[in-house]
A and B are shown apart, each in its own frame.
Chain A
Amino acid sequence: MSEIWRSAIVASFDKFLGKVITFLPNLLAMITILIIGLITAWVIKTILLRFLKAIQFDRVSERWGLTHVLSKGGVTYSPTSLLSRFFYWIIVLVTLILGINALEVAATHHFVTQFFNYLPHLFAGILIMVIGYLVAVFLGQAALIAAVNAQMESARLLSRCIRWFLIILSLTMALYHLGIAERVIVTAFSITFGGIVLALAVAFGWGGKELAKDFLERLYKRRERGDEEKDRISHL
């Protein structure tokens, strides 16, 4: 009887030891990956930080209005610091997932594959939003200055409309790219945009018929008057 017990325990222990021996290299691989990944993340963060400082990224961000947005959103880091930290954590995250994958546990395998398939979409989505935002700020500012120089009373309104339209457009594109409620997003955007245009058309053509007439008359008269009262100063 005791022999049976002994062989059962030994077999079980051998089995456990076999599993540990099989698992141990994977664990060591994971630890190695984590250590190398963390060092790589730190090195890249440091290099990026120095590079961004050298190209005066904070100044460029200030020019593009990014610093203003960050401070409005309560972010206390400078754009240089924020971007280098962002890449640090991305590398840490990727390292962590690679480490988990190195364990070769069946449950995590599917998750890791999905994560890596989704990663390019995530980057593209973030890029679309950042570029969209920068373009929106730039064009909004350009429209504001042009409208003020053309003496348009509603310059600020025009600028805001352009800015928000482009921000919403880039957000829609980014969400569509990420595959988040694609149909809902496209439909919502189409309805909102179409609705705004229709509302403006109805308001201008029907509700504000008299107002529109008055506005156009004033505009026409002002243009005629402007021709009569043109400056003849030669600026150069």
Chain B
Amino acid sequence: MEKLFQLQMEEIKEADILIGIPSYNNVRTIGHVVRAAIAGLAKYFPGARSVLVNSDGGSTDGTQEEVQRIQIEDFKTILTSHPVHPVHKIITPYHGIPGKGSAFRTIFEAAAKLKAKACAVVDSDLRSITPGWMELLLRPIYEEGFEYVAPLYARHKFDGTITNSIVYPLTRALYGKRVRQPIGGDFGFSGKLAEHYLTQKVWETDVARFGIDIWMTTLAIAEGYRVCQAYLGAKIHDAKDPGSDLGPMFTQVVSSVYSLMENYQPLWKEVKESQPVSTFGFHYEVGLEPVPVNLGRMIANFRLGVRDLMEIWRKALLPETVLWLESIGRLSDEAFSFPQDLWVRLIYDFALAYQTGPVHREHLLKSMIPLYLGRVASFVKENQDSSANEVEQKIESLCKSFEEMKPYLIERWGEVLRR
């Protein structure tokens, strides 16, 4: 832990609320995020002792200076009353593997050290964050006795495809809680849970990178903490090329989900059905920008996978599944369709292969990307003219398939691991 960071915490001693903002070269947006957080704390928690921790990955664009500089000079312009306590700011670099998870670890350390009652973490590239997010992420913990708050966003029907096609349905089927955005990026959690996270030895794995979100959510659910979700409205990020990060994003998230399956197998094998979780916040419709999708490229990538990666897939899949994939690979662009049942079976079969290891784990996960793109292409194609609600119904149907086919997973899991 940095000496200055430690000294600052010793000076502050204790806090009621802690806001964590992980960052890396986010000078364009972090000012807005810090302002929204400070305003939210002043408005909704004026009597609480609050600390804002910026855990930075070594930004070179002045992100840290921007956080230091930002303050609300005149609260009268945004609030009717003045805050009782000022918000302390701690800006510190994090250590360990470069990634979001390592940044969170520093935030957890601060929360534990300051004995914070309620904490929230928000992304530093957010453009749509408002002071209201602080209330939604913190109040369920600060006043309602919950220990983990997952976000619930209004998103474009084709956004969040890893969430919609893998993480949400699989987490729901396994652990039995319907947390709609388990890897949303902005969360609320109790100081007690932060301390629990710190005791886990996962900081050299994919959890230290993109895997942190699903790890936090799964741990909270699986270890019996009270979990809820809060509707935050639209989530708009700083513009970046979403395709550029697909490889590491996909492998890190999916490897975290599969590793957690290994850890919690006695638990999820007993879960028979899923239950909704409490939801806070006022639900409203928002206008969302259209999302262009290059279907031809996704289908072409899938076909290339069928042609060249079948040798690897064969080691993970049953012969009939291989035949099914080959037949889909022969379909024209117009007739292309990737059935939901096949997708569920693939996710389960790859989860088994991840445990039994017929292929190197990283290779196995990377080889799934063409399959994922095939499924996304099919989903987009089927829902071109559907409304957001209709698409949500389709996702619900996918989740039910995951739940219905869970006995298949349990049966094969036992069979394969007994060998």
Contacts and interface: CB of A to CB of B under 8 A. Distances in A.
A141 B292 contact: no
Contact of A235 (B162, B213, B309, B360): B162
Interface in A112-149: 138, 141-142, 144-149
Interface string A138-182: 100110111111010101100000000000000000000000000
Contacts of B360: 63-64, 138, 141
B163 A236 contact: yes
B353 to A, nearest CB: 10
B301 A231 contact: no
B297 A145 contact: no
Nearest to A142: B363
B376 A141 contact: no
A236 B363 contact: no
B366 interface: yes
A156 B308 contact: yes
A164 B359 CA distance: 20
A60 B357 contact: yes
B219 interface: no
A59 B162 contact: no
Interface in B351-380: 356-360, 363, 366-367, 369-370, 376
B293 interface: yes
A73 B253 CA distance: 39
B294 A63 contact: no
B158 A151 contact: no
Nearest to B243: A231
Interface in B139-180: 155, 158-163
A230 B294 contact: yes
Interface in B386-411: none
Contact of B291 (A60, A142, A144, A233): A233
Interface in A219-236: 226, 229-236
A62 interface: yes
Interface string B183-207: 1010000000000000000000000
A236 B141 CA distance: 25
Given A230-B241, A231-B292, A235-B250, A141 B162 contact: no
Contacts of A236: 160, 162-163, 183, 185, 210, 213, 249, 253
B242 A234 contact: yes
A61 to B, nearest CB: 10
Contacts of A147: 308
Contacts of B376: 233
Interface residues on A, range: 20 to 34
Given A141-B360, A229-B294, A235 B370 contact: no
Interface in A192-236: 226, 229-236
B370 A144 contact: no
A158 B312 CA distance: 16
Interface string B237-254: 100011101110110010
A108 B99 CA distance: 65
Contacts of A62: 315, 357-358
Nearest to B372: A235
B249 A144 contact: no
B233 interface: no
A234 B294 contact: no
Contacts of A234: 155, 159-160, 237, 242, 291
A96 B183 CA distance: 64
A231 B160 contact: no
A146 B250 CA distance: 14
Contacts of B158: 233
A233 B161 contact: yes
A56 B162 CA distance: 33
Contacts of B328: none
B304 interface: yes
Contacts of A155: 304, 308
Of A63, A151, A155, A229, most B-chain CB atoms within 10 Å: A63
Interface string B298-315: 101100110111001001
B364 to A, nearest CB: 9
Given A151-B301, A153-B304, A145 B366 contact: yes
Given A63-B360, A149-B366, A232 B292 contact: yes
Contacts of B250: 235
A234 to B, nearest CB: 5
Contact of A231 (B210, B249, B293): B293
Contacts of A59: 356-358
Given A149-B247, A234-B242, A144 B237 contact: no
A148 B304 contact: yes
A148 B309 contact: yes
A234 B210 CA distance: 14
Given A144-B309, A230-B292, 13 more contacts: A144-B308, A145-B312, A145-B367, A148-B304, A148-B308, A156-B308, A229-B294, A231-B243, A231-B292, A232-B242, A233-B161, A234-B155, A236-B249
Interface of B: 155, 158-163, 183, 185, 210, 213, 237, 241-243, 245-247, 249-250, 253, 291-294, 297-298, 300-301, 304-305, 307-309, 312, 315, 356-360, 363, 366-367, 369-370, 376
Interface of A: 56, 59-60, 62-64, 138, 141-142, 144-149, 151, 153, 155-156, 226, 229-236
22 contacts: A60-B357, A62-B358, A63-B359, A142-B363, A144-B309, A145-B312, A145-B366, A148-B305, A149-B247, A149-B301, A149-B366, A151-B301, A151-B304, A230-B294, A231-B292, A231-B294, A231-B297, A232-B242, A233-B161, A234-B159, A235-B161, A236-B253
